[in-house]
Amino acid sequence: MAIPKNPPDWITWFRELGSLTATIPFQISPGKAPRIIVSVPTGQFTTWMIVAGALSIAPPPLEIPEVDTCYATWSLVDVKMNDCTFAATVDPKRIVFVDHPGRSAPTDSWPVKATPEGTPKNRSGAAPGPNLRDRLRNLPGLKNNWYLWYARRCLSPVVIIGDGREYLQNQREELLEKAPQWFTDEARALLSEDSQQTSNPDRMYFHPFMVLHASAGDSKPWLRAMQPRLVIITSWSSYTRKHQSLFAGAPHIILTNRRVASAIDASSFLSISEKSEFETDLLSKLTPPHGVFLKSFNEQVLFDQGDLTGGDEMDIEI
């Protein structure tokens, strides 16, 4: 498929879809989270346009760090994303890094996100490469605080789930090379992440986007409890194979390619399910382009006690 210089209308539509769904709050058990099904004639490039739209939206507010709690955060000393704990100081407006005595951060503005119980100890991120650092520094207003802007987006990542992770990553690189004008400066910088670790589930909260296999959460209860801002699943088959509790509280966009057999299963499921209230609101703002169809349903967010396992067939509760 040739890549035109100017983004076609359908590209803009998928980008706006990502922007709108990225604003849906994460739902906690026993709430219900929306699942947006998008039927497409081909899934080529659509995934990364949705990601780009989501990355254009400022992430939700993060937590205020507490003493003796493990957080994913930006490490001032290591100059990268890491898991850190904090200790109190005599100044209530500051909190000190336990592993780096004497180094402190402002309590009310330092980006942190608590890691779930059971998260592997001594996780360590990879320092952003020189090219990524330069891209971030050159964004308006970020010359001196680029790392905080970057960290906030790492702590509220967009996650892609599906088969063919190498194919997806190659597609991202092709788009950045041949159609950089399809992206905002911010999305282009974030999607240039080149650490080769964005498909490693142990690095969750260390990158602004992740590309994971449907089985990633089967044996990792701690991963299932993490909270991305948006999940994009590249096929109905991947959706039914992923652990039901994996990122369950996040809004999902599920792409169904009409040339793939599992799309028939998705259509059958939607015919008996009650649509999400988000569908009406979404369609009032976005009219799908020719050949694209959008449906939705709500999924019950289950409390994960760590004793559920993934399987080839999964019952989906509404």
Which of the pair, 3 or 80, is modelled with greater confidence? Answer: 80
In the chain, residues under CATH classification 3.40.50 are: 9-60+156-300
Q: What is the CATH number of domain 9-60+156-300?
A: 3.40.50
**Strand ranges of the sheet holding 209-212, from the earlier edge strand across to the other edge:** 209-212, 158-161, 230-233, 252-257, 32-40, 293-300
21 pLDDT higher than 60: yes
Tell me which residue of 247, 242, 309, 297 sits closest to 273, measured CA to CA: 297
Give me the residues paired with residue 105 across strands.
95
Average pLDDT on 275-284 reads 91
Checking if the pLDDT of 182 tops 90, the result is yes
| Predicted local distance difference test score (pLDDT) of residue 1 | 60
pLDDT at 247: 97
pLDDT digits (tens, 9 = 90+) for 209-257: 999 999 999 999 999 999 999 999 999 999 999 999 999 999 999 999 8
What are 144-169's pLDDT values in tens digits? 999 999 999 999 999 999 998 899 99
